[in-house]
Structure 1
């Protein structure tokens, strides 16, 4: 059975990859076009203020587009690697491997009720326990209470 949730069938993945490639291409074109134009005009001595100052801003803008495109390409590669390392979901292909158990096949003798215990009553306490309690009641209250000065 084919995995229908593959990354290659994911529209957002392909949009990320195509937009990243587009940004990388446009950014690279802007940078190389403006740098070559500025270099040739500055060396010829025919450069104007617009060529120099607007050209620099266009190079920065192109570099930002180029960087965003490269980051998107790297992100799509990371997504592909993570998707390849993750195991397949058990919902699609794993559901056929689970045994089909009907309700009438379950044996009622498999289940047992938990054992309950009753608390010990006061009348069932031994005489030694009662003697210890009476000794504790007769002791000095200062010994039973915590003291700050000790």
Structure 2
């Protein structure tokens, strides 16, 4: 039995990994889409100040999201590397002792048939 779950079964690790990939993908989509729209509008000469100035800000936000996702992926890689140095706390299956079930019959006098129960003398026991 493990004390800590392995990294493959760790929900926070997968949230970090999937969240980092999703953040990078959304940032790339945002930057490419915004820069493509700005490029088409500027080339055609129909760009408005909103297209140019607000588009630049959205492209920067996309770049920040890409960088954030890359940092998250690097953190997941470092975490996986550090986890490989932690010794396993699993108990090997060979250390488990297998105990066979006792066979009970109707003529048995109790759970310890053939074994005498110790008799405790209550008179000799110290009184409190």
Query: What TM bracket, shorter-length normalisation?
Result: 0.5 to 0.7
TM-score, normalization: structure 2? 0.66
Name the structure 1 match of 2:60.
60
Between structure 1 and structure 2, the one with the greater Rg is 1
Task: Compute the displacement of 1:86 (Å).
Answer: 2.2
Query: How many equivalent residue pairs?
Result: 94
Post-superposition CA distance 1:64-102 (Å, at most 9, x none):
11111111011111111111122223xx428x87xxxxx
Structure 1 unaligned regions, length at least 5: 98-150
- Structure showing the higher helix proportion among its residues: 1
Residues of 2 paired with 1:71 and 1:21: CA distance? 10
Correspondence for 2:78:
78
Q: Which one has more relative contact order, counting CA pairs under 8 Å at least 6 apart?
A: 2
List structure 1 runs of 4+ shifted beyond 3 angstroms.
Answer: 1-4
- The TM-score, its normalising length taken from structure 1, stands at 0.57
Instruction: Supply the RMSD in Å over aligned alpha carbons.
Output: 2.2
CA drift of 1:4 comes to 5.9
Distance in 2 (alpha carbons) for counterparts of 1:85 and 1:41: 54
Query: Hey, what does 2:91 align to over in structure 1?
Result: 93
